[in-house]
Each structure stands twice: as structure tokens, then as C-alpha cells.
Structure 1
Amino acid sequence: MQLPKRLNKIHGTFFLRKFLLNISGNYCRSLCLFSFLLILLCSTSGFPQSRLDSLKTSFEEETNDSLKVVYGIQMLREFHRNEHKEEEEYDLARGLIQKALNTGDSLLYARTLDNLGLLYRYHQRYDEALSLHTKAFNLVEDMEVDPVHKMIFANNAGVAGRYNQRYDTAVSYYMKALKIAEEENDLKNIAIAGNGIGNTLGNIPGRQDEALTYFERSLEAEKQRGNSLGVAMNYLSISDYYIDKEEFTTARKYLDELLRINREREDNYGLAITYEFYGKSYLEEGKDLDKAAYYFEDALSRFEKIGDAHQQAQIQGSLGDVRFKQDRLVPAKSYYEKSLELAKDLNQHGLIMKNSYQLAEILERQNQPSAALQYIKQGKAYEDSIKLEEQNVEIAALIRKYDIEKKEDHIQLLEKDKALQQTLLDNQQQKLERRRILMLLLGTGLLFILVIFLLQYRNHQMKKKVNARILKEEKEKMKAIYERNLARAEILVTRLRVNPHFIFNSLNAITYLIQSNQNAKAMKYLVVFSRYTRMVLETSQKHVVPLSEELKLTQYYLTLEKNRFEKDFTFEIKGEDAPEVEKILIPPLLLQPLIENAIWHGLLPSKRETKRLLLEVIPEGEIVKIIIDDNGVGRSGIEKRSAEKDHKSMGMQIIKERIELFNKSYSGHIDCEVIDKKDEQGKPEGTRIVFKLKQKILSENPAELLS
């Protein structure tokens, strides 16, 4: 059946439009990549409504114009994330530009221009966005400002230029951002600029091969940063590059890596995009269209769960393309109709136009020329509306650009007039200043003579005081050296009293294991015992040791003492990996006697099923705490046993003496507190000992402790 003449005439334009849609394929893919990143960023960077309310309050109450603009930019971004009212956002952004102009701060003005550009870009008004981003960068390019602002403005200009198909402009600004990022060794912006250049070059005929170099450079930077989202974006870009090159096997290798990353991230949106690009690769290859349909359907189900209607509309159209290539016109028609329905709900004029033309071609093949003609008319209407909307946007952009430039010119004239008035005022102030200077010089001369006389008298008096102080300090120094040597000798004697007691108990415990044929266990404790004794010998000549060594020695001690119990004794050491542990110096074997008391006189007599001992290091600003906590019988239980009372009193006396000697001999200071723990009925629940070391003990250079 032949078409009517009128339909033939309209149908002649159909294939031209289809051709134009095909050559813009790279642009559409780039737009998909941009949407992927934008949606991910929006979904992962949202703040609760209270954050927006807080910023609104700060914005309204702020009286300083510059700070008000800064709060306004932050508030606008939160407003966009939470409420997304387009016209209100534009009005607020333009108001911030005016406020920034009034401050005369060029960087702040540039930030407000860039902020409005981001809003335009989000709503795909790329021409207006490009103008604002480039203006923002040009304002600060030669200024001494934080380079991160220059990189942000340049990268934003590159993005807007790329989506506006101004590829030369896009590459130019991306290159500027990349140069600054390399000078600053800013991996984040190296990755952003590199990816942007790659996507831009991929749209320029004859330069697609250069794109891969920049994608790989961006990928390497993201790997160095450990940014899995950035790595995923580059894998997606590289796979799209190989799809365009029709190297489908290589493209799918990168998609495999992208799939692995998104599974690790548990990123459902990323998985949906990945499956969509798997489908595109098989669709473009044309060999296994059923597999293409399988991946598109998987992606579609994920976007339906997410609630992303835009992507659903796009994939319904892609499924229609698959069935159309298979010459399965009935399911193809169904998919195109679903895509068209969603596109109309979303007001996506481009997708409506494409689906209308595709449905027209299917109906033509099904010998339904009247219905085909209706779809061609619909496609033509939306094609014309796209052009008209673009013209309206351009006109509005020109008007706004003129208004901003007019305001800038007016402000510049006011600044020039203000500068002239300031010059006249400065001249008058200079005359008054010269008179003041003359009077000050005369007064200063008289004062100078008086000061010289007073200084001479003061120097004479100071010499007498200094000589007397030198004699006093010499005597005090000799006394301090004597007391330090005496203190070190007393510490050494104390250490020799503590160690033999524990060594005797440990050897008895190991002997018992050997006699009871527990050889493996005996070997284990012999190794621990040998390490313990070696550490004791190594520290025997030291007056202070790092807390890390003391904790390690304590762990060996507790391991050996655990051998004395059955399975009812547990111990735990916390905080040993804190950075401060390496910087703290304490007297050696300071903790062991207290831990020994806790085990032998607190836990061993206890009838609890689980006997627990905790040693914890807690940095608290300028003070570091060392806590020894047990759930034994407490000191009141020990006092009932006179023999044990004498032993404990002697141990605590030794500890107190060592702390006093340490505080007397070194610049640091240690406090020790013993706390009796009790339950609600007042019964003992154990003992807690708290050491407090003041910040002066902490130092990158332990030698400072001896000063």
C-alpha cells in the first residue's frame, strides 16, 4: 500500500531528522554520564531540613554583606537539594550577585556568578551557564586567591561548554584547570579536568583517540585518591569510548570492572547505569540483541525501584530500538509508546520527538499512513518547540547579561567618583599628619633623653640583682644535681625489689606445666617469659621508658599470670595503639606491682565466675589517663587478711615513693588515685587505680622530659 502524497512529503523529512538524531549520539551519551554523576552527588550529599533552616536563620540575621552572600550561597544549594523551586532559586541567586557587587569583592562576585551558572547548567541552560562560568574564571585568573576557586570555575566552564557543544571553549578551560591542578598537585581537580577533556575530545571528529589518554590520566588520579566513585565514572567513560570505536569486547572488560566496583559500593543507581551500558554495547554491536534486551530490562527494573522516571523513559526507548532492529514491530511499538508516555509526563521534548518519529516509521511499515502522519506531526511540533524554547532562553540570557553589565558599569562610575573624593580627603589628612609628626618629634626627643637617664639607672640596679641571682642559681643547680642522682639510685633499688618476686612465681608456674606433661603450653609460656625477662634486662639501665614498652611488658606479665588461673580470668588492654603512647615516658615497672596486687589480692580470692582485669590508656587533651580496673574483692576484703595487708601496703608505698622520685627528678608530673568500687548495697565490686599524666610529659622529643 502506497502512502498519500502529503504523507510522502512529510516522511521525506523523517529520515533527515533521524540522521541528525544519530549523529548527536555522542552528545546524548555524555549527557547520560553527566546525569549519572549529578544524581549520585545529589543523593549522597543531602542534609536534613534542619540544616536548611539553620542556614536561612544565619542568612537573615547576618548584617555583614560579605558573610551574608556566603551564607546565601550555602543556603541556595541546600534549598536546591531539599525543595528545588526553580524560579525562587534563580531569584535568590541573582539577588546574591547584586549583594556581591555592592561589597566590591571580586572573588565573592565571581563565586555568585559561578553559583548561578550551576543552576542554569542543572536545568540544561548551558549557553547561559557557560557565559557565567567563564566570566567568573576571567575575574580571578590573575588574582592572588586560593587556586581551588580558579580550578572550580574553569572546570565548570568546561562542563557547560561541552554540553553546549562549544568543544573548543570546553577544552580551553579544562586545560586551564588541569594546568593549575598539576601545579598544586590537586588530584581531585586533575581527575575532574582529565575526565572532562576526554569526554570533550570524544565528541570532536578525528580526535577521539586523544580522549583515551585523558581518561586514563583521570582514572590514575582517582585511584591515588582512593575515590571509588571517580574510578567508576572513568570506567564508564572509557567503556563508552570503546563502544564508539566499535571495540565492544574491550568496552565490556571496563564495564566488568565498573560492575565490580558498584557491587562493592552497593550502589543500585551505579549498577543500573552499568547494565544500561552493557545493553548499549550489545545494541551497537548488533550481534546479540536478546542480550542487549536482557541488560536493558535489568537496568529498567532497577530504575523503577529507585523511582527515576527520566532513565525509565530513556531505557524504554532503547528497548524499542532493540526490538525494532529485530523487526519485532509490535513489542517495539509498545516500548516506544511507554517511553513516549513517560517523556510527556516529564516534558522531555527531545525524547518525545524521537519516539514520535520511531512510532511513525513502525506505523508506516504496518500500512497505517494516517496514524503515522499524526506521529510525524507530533514529532515536528516538538522539534519546532525545542527551537523556539532555545530562542527564548537565548533572548532571556542576553537581557540578563545586559542588566548585569549595566549594573557593573554603574558601580564602576560610583567607584571612580568615590576614589576622587577619597583623594581630596587624603590630601587634607596628609597636611594635618605632617603637623602632628612635627609635634611628635619634639616630644619624642625630650622623652628619649629622659628614657636614657632612666635606663642607665635601671642597668646599674639590674647588675646588682643579676650577680646575686647567679650565685643563688649556682647553689640550687648543685643541689638539684645531687637530688636527681640520689633519686635515680633509689629508683634502681626499688626495681631490684620488685622483679625477683614475679620471676619466682613465673618459674614455679612453668615448672608445674612441665611436671604435668603440658609441654606445648609450657613452651608457649617459656617464650613469653624469655621475652619478658629480656625486656626487663634491656630497661634495667633506663630511668624512664616509653609507655608502649611498659604496656608490652605488662601484656607479657598478664599472659604469664593467667597461667595461675583456670578459665575464669580474663584481661584486656585498650588504647595501646593511640599515637600518644609512643610519646609518653614513665618509670619502668610502674604498673606491674599494682596489677600484681589486683590479681593476687583482688581477683584470686574472689568467688566471681569471671575475673576480669582492664588496663586502658585514655588521652584527654593535656592529660593522659592510665586506668587499672578489676572486679575483685576490693581493698576492704584484703584488709580482713593481715598478712595480705602488710604486703599490699608495702607495694603501694613503693609506688608512691617512685612517683615522688619521678616528679622530683623530671619535668613531668604523675598523680595516682585509688578508687574503691561498690555496688548499690555498698558491697565491694573491685578496685580502680587512675594515673594522670600531665601534657608536659608528651613530646615528639622524649629528651625534653629530662629538662
Structure 2
Amino acid sequence: MQLPKQLNNISNSSNRPGSMLKFSGKLRRPLCLLWFILIFLCTTSGFSQSRLDSLTTSYEQETNDSLRVITGLQMLRELHRNEHREEKEYSFARDIIQEALNTGDSLLYARSLDNLGLLYRFHQRYDEAMPLHIKAYRLIENKEVDPVYKMIFANNAGVAGRYDQRYDTAVSYYMKALKIAEKENNLKNIAIAGNGIGNTLGNIAGRQDEALKYFERSLEAEKERGNSLGVAMNYLSISDYYISKDEFAKAREYLDELLRLNLDRNDDYGLAITYEFYGKSYLEEEEDLDRAASYFMDALKRFQELGDTHRQAQIQGSLGDVRLEQDRLDLARDYFRRSLELAKDLNQHGLIMANSYKLAQILERQEKPSDALQYLKQGKAYEDSIKLEEQNVEIAALIRQYDIEKKEDHIQLLEKDKALQQTVLDNQRQKLEQRRILVLLMGLGSLFILVIFGLQYRNIRMKKKVNARILKEEKEKMKAIYERNLARAEILVTRLRINPHFIFNSLNAITYLIQSQQNAKAMKYLVVFSRYTRMVLETSQKHVVPLSEELQLTHYYLTLEKNRFEKDFSFEIKGDDIPEVGNVMIPPLLLQPLIENAIWHGLLPSKRETKTLLLEVIPEGEDIWIIIDDNGVGRSGTGKRSSEKDHKSMGMQIIKERIELYNKSYSGNIDFEVIDKKDEQGRPEGTRILFKLKQNAFAKNPAEFLT
């Protein structure tokens, strides 16, 4: 079931109390299905709580400022899903903003601001959400960042502005998102921005025809990307358009399609909106008002169950319209008053204005002029504050500016084509002129023999220079090829081999399991050992391997070491299931020596009761972080033999050389850093190793990023 804040783009009714959304008929679910849903929710809740605990631990222990902010944003989302403690969420979100600001990273700061804006929107505090989304967009508007972030922030600003009835601001930022989305051919954000513009224009009398073309563009994009939720949103918006045009049969055709789609999706929120629109169509048609009331009542009940106060206020007003049309004034007055109370709580100026005018109309008919006058004054005050006409003019100007810019782009392309054609003509004229000069020179004959000899001599010298330059470039090319091959050869020479003691010890451990009648366990580790050795033999023939294979090989190695030292340490690998690991290429056997050092020289000498080793892969934008973290004695721990120190130092130097050779030989890039962890008293408490794989390392095969 979709949360109300995530469906802010589904539809927009106009500010008239009668132009709200509807729902028809109740769907009864079997008791057994409800039981399974409850079991599923309980299971999911337990999993989410476990993930929240894990993220909390990672956030508290993270020392890298950027990673701490990213982990904090993930933690905040899990906190919102699990607890819904409004003030706690706001407080933590503000802390993340301050931490992001301290990093000096504009994108991280913008993401943290946008995140707080989303929290405000969820709690229907649109007037506070909008400035945050706008500021997030402006921070990166002229920055070289992923355009997706610009589209997200601009669309979020549009949504908040639309629900706060700041229609000029909403259209302005939707237009910004649409321009970027069309430039990037991003169908998702084309659909979101198009639907948002259409819904905003649909709230303004006389602008519905302009809204339709944006709905149709959004529907086309959603169908192309196969997004059923987006298709449903646009069916709803288009049905509202036809209702406004009094084409009720056409509107209900789209609502029938929408109802079937939401039933297939099992979307309670979508069904509530669909029934609300059914009620709206019958109310506007004024032929079956009892049927309209039935749909509105059903939709109201569903929105009450979903806790959507905004929709409840709208539907209360729609029910008031139905009863007013039936001349049931007392009942209509009660509905309008309930709608007015909710609208004031939500600070919805348009709804307050509409309900005030309706109540003034009813009280005047009931011969209560004093009360009617109070509501009339209240409605007029809110009407003046909205300034719809000024916003309407601004929106028209924005749309004209958008259309003009598109035309200007087209004109610029035509001018470029014209300039290119002119250049070709100029070149042809120059060639003709050169031919005329050549004919003239040849006609003069002997008078220019010396000039001809001079030109020939110059040509011969130029040819010699060109040949010399070509020869030099060929030598440089051969030298570059030689140096690249030499670098590859050095990579192969310096590549780490398996410690033979590890093989013998692993076999001895398996032999012990067989001798102690633990045959099933022995068979398990024998299979792991065979897969490990086979992968080592295969990867030794390759210059680079996918990160996914390196992680699998590391998992086999850790499993075998865990078998040998069953109670001495535990390990965990995170992030090996993300899609990016299959597209990242790294030198083979890069991680194993570091894992081996962490076990032998960090964890095993440690006197801790709980010894842990964590290998984690974290995507950050277009880069990937690999973190190896242990809580052992650290590199400065005492009691080590000099040979062990020399072995670790030499192994670390080889790894650095391998990374340096890899960065020279391939277009990818790997950054490497070792961090000594210490407690508050300065005592060592483990080692953390960071790899940063930059975006050029991403490829489906090594040939794609060879220099």
C-alpha cells in the first residue's frame, strides 16, 4: 500500500469543493488473506528493525564524514518506516544537514535539505517543505552533478508548491525539471513533471485545455517505461479533464480503466481516489446525486483509514455540495463546517475560501444574515490572499518562455546548418580560385620555372619533415605499447600467490573433520576448498576480474579460515548483492592479502572475547567504496616478530605497487588508504582499509576500459 505522501502527484482537484476525487464500492478481503498479510507485516517489521539497528551502529562508528552523512540518510529513512516519531525524525534530519554542511559537499548538503523537505511533506507541512526543496535545487543548479538530482529536487519543489497552492512556483520548478528530463531523455521525470504541470494548470479555471497535453505526454512516457502507477495517475488526471468539459461518459471510461488497474495493483489509496472521482463525475452531471454521495462516503471512509486529512477535507466539501444540490441545507452545512475545520488545520486557503462562501450561501437561504456575513468576509479575505490572477499571468509567462526557448533551440540548429552549408560553398569557391591561379601560372611557362623548382624543393623538404614526424610518432607509439605491456608483465610478476601453508593447513583441517567423524562438515569445506582453488587458477590467467568474483573468492577464503579457527573470529560481507559489483573490474587477488593480514596479525593476536571482520561494499553516486574493518590489535600492536612485520610491510608495498600499475595500465582508477583505529585513550582497536573505485573502473569487460 502506497503512503499518501508518495502519491502527491496522483491528481489534483481544483479549489472548488465539488472538484474532488472519489471511490466506489468496497472490496472485501477473505479473513485468511488478512491473516497472511498480518504475518508478512510482522516479519517485515522485524527485518526493518534489524536493518535500522545495523545502520545505527554503522552511523555511530563511521569516521569518514561523507560516508557518515550517506549512512545517516539511510538510517533516517529506516527510522521513518519503523517509528514515525515526528520530532525525533526532524531533530535527526537537522543533525544530518549540519554534518553535510561541514563536509563542504554541495550535493550532500542539498540531499540532506531535500530529505527534511520530504519529511515535512509527509506530515502535510507544505509551506515548510517548499523552501527546502527550492534551496536544494539552487545549490546544485549550476554544478556538475548527476542531472537526476536536479530533476528530483525541482519536481519535489513543484509538488510542495502545488499542495501549498503556490501555483506559479509549482509550475516554475516543474518546468525546470521537464527541461532537464527532455534533454536527458529521462522518461520517469518527463512523466512526473508533465503530470505535475497538468495537475497545477487543472486547478486554474480556463487552463484545463493546456493541462491535457501535459497529461497525454506524461501518460505516453509512463506507458513507454511500463510504470502501472504512473499510468494510473494520468488516467485519473485525464478523467478529471473530461469531467471539467462535461463529457461524463468519456470521463467514466478512463475511470473504469483506472479501477481495473488499481484492483490489479491492490492499491487501497488508488482505489479510494478512483471512487472519489466517480462521485465527482455524478455530482457534476447532477443526474444521480444519491449515487455521487454513496461514492463520496465510501472514499471518505477509506481516506479516514489511511489517515489522509487533506483528502478528508475535500470529500467533506463534496458531500456538502451533493446535499446542497438536493436542498438538504442543514446536512450540507454540517459537511461544509467539518471540511472548513480540517482545511484550517491544514492551512489550505483555497478550501477555506470555498467552504466559507458555501456556508454564507446556506445561512443566507436560512435567513441568518449576520452569520452569513461573517463567513462571506472570511471567504473574501482568503480569496484576496491567494491572488490567483497574478499567479495565472506568471504561469502563462513561464509557459510562453518554455515554448520560446524550444523554438530558439530549433532556430539555432537551423542557423548552424546554414552556416555549415555556407562554409562548404566558401571552400568550393576557394578551390576554383586556386585552379584559376594554377592555370595562369602554367600559361606563363618559362617565366615561372624558377618558382616551380622552388615549390618542388619546398615540397620535398615538407615530405621529409612529414616522414620524419610519422617515424617519430610510430616510435612513440611502439614505446607506449612496450611500456603498457611491460606494466602488465610487472602486474603478473608482482601478483600475490597463495600461501602454501594455507593450502596444507586447510587440508589438515578437513582431514581432522573426517577423522572426527564430521563427514558432512568435511564435505562442505572440501567443496569450498575445491571451488576456491579452481577460482584462483582461473583468475591467475586474467589481468582484471569482476568485483563480484573477487568477493566470492574472498568469501571462500574466509570460510576456510573460519573452519580452521572456529571460535577465534567471525566475519561478515555486506553489499556483495548490489548490481554494481558485476560491472566493476579490479586486479585479481587484491583483497585476500589484506584479509589475511587482518586475521593473522590483527584478530588472532587480539585478546578480545568477540573478534569480528567486516567486508562492506557501498555505492556512492558513480563510485564504489570497499571497506575492510577489523577490531584486532592494529598495526601498532606489541609482541610481533620482526619477520611478521617485514612480511606485512612487504605485502602492503606489493599491493600499493599493483594498484599503481593498474592505474597506469587501465582507464579505471583505485584509491587506497589504511586507517589505524584508536579509542579515546589513544589505544589501538583495529584497522580499517578503504578502497575507492572511481567511475572509469565500471565496465562489462576489460576491453571497455583499456587505454
TM-score (norm 2): 0.50
Matched residue, 2:277: 237
1:591, distance to aligned residue in structure 2 (A): 1.1
Alignment of 1:285-300 (within 5 A): none
Q: Distance in 1 between matches of 2:487 and 2:268?
A: 58
Q: Distance in 2 between matches of 1:654 and 1:553?
A: 20
Matched residue, 2:239: 198
Q: 1:462 aligns with which of 443, 466, 472?
A: 466
Q: Which amino acid aligns with 2:18?
A: S
Offset from partner CA, 1:482-522 (integer Å, 9 cap, x none): x367446536xx55x41644343334444444555556655
Matched residue, 1:594: 594
Q: Which amino acid aligns with 1:208?
A: F
Change (3 A) 1:654 1:43: closer
Matched residue, 2:547: 547
Q: 2:493 aligns with which of 477, 490, 496?
A: 490
Alignment of 1:91-102 (within 5 A): none
Q: 2:18 aligns with which of 7, 25, 30?
A: 30
Kindly name which structure, 1 or 2, has the bigger radius of gyration based on alpha carbons: 1
Higher relative contact order (CA 8 A, sep 6+): 2
**Which segment is superposed worse, 560-569 or 515-524?**
515-524
Matched residue, 1:267: 308
Matched residue, 2:26: none
Offset from partner CA, 1:445-490 (integer Å, 9 cap, x none): 9xx999x989996564333232244245446645754x36744653
Q: Which amino acid aligns with 2:588?
A: P
Q: Which amino acid aligns with 1:215?
A: L
State whether residues 215 and 238 of structure 2, in contact with CA within 8 Å, keep that contact through their aligned partners in structure 1.
no
Change (3 A) 1:182 1:351: same
State whether residues 601 and 638 of structure 1, in contact with CA within 8 Å, keep that contact through their aligned partners in structure 2.
no
Q: Which amino acid aligns with 1:589?
A: L
Q: Distance in 2 between matches of 1:464 and 1:514?
A: 73
State whether residues 612 and 631 of structure 1, in contact with CA within 8 Å, keep that contact through their aligned partners in structure 2.
yes
State whether residues 603 and 633 of structure 2, in contact with CA within 8 Å, keep that contact through their aligned partners in structure 1.
yes
Q: Which amino acid aligns with 2:601?
A: H
1:237, distance to aligned residue in structure 2 (A): 0.7
State whether residues 314 and 339 of structure 2, in contact with CA within 8 Å, keep that contact through their aligned partners in structure 1.
no
Q: 2:360 aligns with which of 330, 336, 352?
A: 352
Matched residue, 1:214: 254
Matched residue, 1:322: none
Q: Which amino acid aligns with 1:558?
A: L
Offset from partner CA, 1:624-670 (integer Å, 9 cap, x none): 55332322122343663356446545644654565466456555555
Q: Distance in 1 between matches of 2:234 and 2:566?
A: 65
Matched residue, 2:102: none
Alignment of 1:184-583 (within 5 A): 194-195=235-236, 198-199=239-240, 208-217=248-257, 232-241=272-281, 263=305, 266-270=307-311, 307-308=344-345, 348-355=356-363, 357=365, 460-471=464-475, 473-474=477-478, 477=481, 481=485, 483=486, 486-487=489-490, 490=493, 497-498=497-498, 500-516=500-516, 525-526=525-526, 528-565=528-565, 569-576=569-576, 580-583=580-583
State whether residues 52 and 79 of structure 1, in contact with CA within 8 Å, keep that contact through their aligned partners in structure 2.
no
State whether residues 310 and 346 of structure 1, in contact with CA within 8 Å, keep that contact through their aligned partners in structure 2.
no
State whether residues 572 and 614 of structure 1, in contact with CA within 8 Å, keep that contact through their aligned partners in structure 2.
yes
Secondary structure of 1:548's aligned partner:
helix
Q: Which amino acid aligns with 2:239?
A: G
State whether residues 235 and 258 of structure 1, in contact with CA within 8 Å, keep that contact through their aligned partners in structure 2.
no
Matched residue, 2:126: 45
Aligned residues between the structures: 491
Q: Distance in 1 between matches of 2:459 and 2:268?
A: 69
Change (3 A) 1:681 1:479: closer
1:545, distance to aligned residue in structure 2 (A): 0.5
Q: Which amino acid aligns with 1:353?
A: Q
Secondary structure of 1:573's aligned partner:
strand
Q: Distance in 1 between matches of 2:295 and 2:518?
A: 57
State whether residues 292 and 322 of structure 2, in contact with CA within 8 Å, keep that contact through their aligned partners in structure 1.
no
Q: Distance in 2 between matches of 1:631 and 1:488?
A: 31
1:603, distance to aligned residue in structure 2 (A): 0.4
Secondary structure of 1:558's aligned partner:
helix
1:550, distance to aligned residue in structure 2 (A): 0.8
State whether residues 633 and 686 of structure 2, in contact with CA within 8 Å, keep that contact through their aligned partners in structure 1.
yes
State whether residues 303 and 309 of structure 1, in contact with CA within 8 Å, keep that contact through their aligned partners in structure 2.
no
State whether residues 667 and 706 of structure 1, in contact with CA within 8 Å, keep that contact through their aligned partners in structure 2.
yes
Alignment of 1:53-72 (within 5 A): none
Q: Distance in 2 between matches of 1:155 and 1:479?
A: 62
1:596, distance to aligned residue in structure 2 (A): 1.2
**Which segment is superposed worse, 662-671 or 348-357?**
662-671
Secondary structure of 2:471's aligned partner:
helix
Change (3 A) 1:477 1:678: same
State whether residues 673 and 691 of structure 2, in contact with CA within 8 Å, keep that contact through their aligned partners in structure 1.
yes
Q: Distance in 1 between matches of 2:516 and 2:292?
A: 67
State whether residues 130 and 161 of structure 2, in contact with CA within 8 Å, keep that contact through their aligned partners in structure 1.
no
**Which segment is superposed worse, 691-700 or 547-556?**
691-700
Q: Which amino acid aligns with 1:351?
A: L
Change (3 A) 1:577 1:271: farther
Offset from partner CA, 1:375-405 (integer Å, 9 cap, x none): 5x889x98xx99xx9xx99xx999x9xxx9x
Secondary structure of 2:311's aligned partner:
helix
RMSD: 6.6
Matched residue, 2:584: 584
Q: Which amino acid aligns with 2:252?
A: L
Change (3 A) 1:184 1:654: closer
State whether residues 272 and 300 of structure 1, in contact with CA within 8 Å, keep that contact through their aligned partners in structure 2.
no
Q: Distance in 1 between matches of 2:251 and 2:563?
A: 67
Percentage of pairs with the same residue: 44
Q: Distance in 2 between matches of 1:475 and 1:658?
A: 21
State whether residues 30 and 199 of structure 1, in contact with CA within 8 Å, keep that contact through their aligned partners in structure 2.
no
Q: Distance in 2 between matches of 1:519 and 1:297?
A: 78
Secondary structure of 2:601's aligned partner:
helix
Q: Which amino acid aligns with 1:490?
A: V
Secondary structure of 1:606's aligned partner:
coil
Matched residue, 1:99: none
Change (3 A) 1:212 1:534: farther
Secondary structure of 1:637's aligned partner:
coil
Q: Distance in 2 between matches of 1:151 and 1:28?
A: 20
1:604, distance to aligned residue in structure 2 (A): 0.9
TM-score (norm 1): 0.50
**Which segment is superposed worse, 563-572 or 181-190?**
181-190
State whether residues 614 and 629 of structure 1, in contact with CA within 8 Å, keep that contact through their aligned partners in structure 2.
yes
Secondary structure of 1:563's aligned partner:
helix
1:687, distance to aligned residue in structure 2 (A): 2.8
Offset from partner CA, 1:427-460 (integer Å, 9 cap, x none): xxxxxxxxxx9xxx9xx99xx999x989996564
Matched residue, 1:317: none
Matched residue, 1:631: 631
Q: Distance in 1 between matches of 2:611 and 2:123?
A: 52
Q: Distance in 1 between matches of 2:553 and 2:358?
A: 74
Q: Distance in 2 between matches of 1:686 and 1:610?
A: 13
Secondary structure of 1:30's aligned partner:
coil
Q: Distance in 1 between matches of 2:469 and 2:301?
A: 81
Stretches of structure 2 that go unaligned for 5 or more consecutive residues are 1-13, 23-120, 140-155, 176-189, 398-425, 439-450
State whether residues 506 and 560 of structure 2, in contact with CA within 8 Å, keep that contact through their aligned partners in structure 1.
yes
Matched residue, 2:702: 702
Q: Which amino acid aligns with 1:470?
A: E
State whether residues 303 and 309 of structure 2, in contact with CA within 8 Å, keep that contact through their aligned partners in structure 1.
no
1:554, distance to aligned residue in structure 2 (A): 1.4
